[in-house]
Structure 1
């Protein structure tokens, strides 16, 4: 009878430890997914004339548009980038693929703008 209880306790302990490890891996993976470094870098407007192309640069110090600081921070939840500026809020959705990421501007919606990740 004691051997049976010991096996049950051992099985339960192993099961709980595995569940904790799995939960930790999921949590760490999610934290990596929503980390702002996933959108750091230069974003160049597509389908715009050369003389009027916007360039966004996102990094840990803030957001720059055409080499001018427009915000000292931004929010990234894994799918959308929200930038609060003195002119209002700008919301961009991450689209495209891992090889060709895009930012689609959702707010303000007019004029529509898309940005491709630059080098």
Structure 2
């Protein structure tokens, strides 16, 4: 079923620019995190406490990196929905996602009710 996007062209252009900016920020953060992880433990001979702290920090950075990859995928999917003309519509029920939710999380795929169902039962 083809559904028209509920937003006008000006709004979509602004949202698209914001999503691209968000994507650029996530990628820049990811590059900084990668650079930081590469430098851990390279400041001389580490003792056991340094090694433990470095291991923990590298694990945190790796998890952050997965979160960042997921965020980029979400942003890319939102940009694709803009291009397809279905941005702002729930992928499950095809109803319009409330504007406030889209302001807070512009890459939302689901309305609040459907998101709760997806989290509870899976997609």
Q: Shorter-normalised TM-score: what interval? A: 0.3 to 0.5
Q: What TM-score, normalized by structure 1, do the two folds share?
A: 0.34
Q: Quick check: which one's strand share is greater?
A: 1
Higher alpha-carbon Rg = 1
Q: What TM-score, normalized by structure 2, do the two folds share?
A: 0.33
User: Greater relative contact order (Cα 8 A, min sep 6): structure 1 or 2?
Assistant: 2
Q: Quick check: which one's helix share is greater?
A: 2
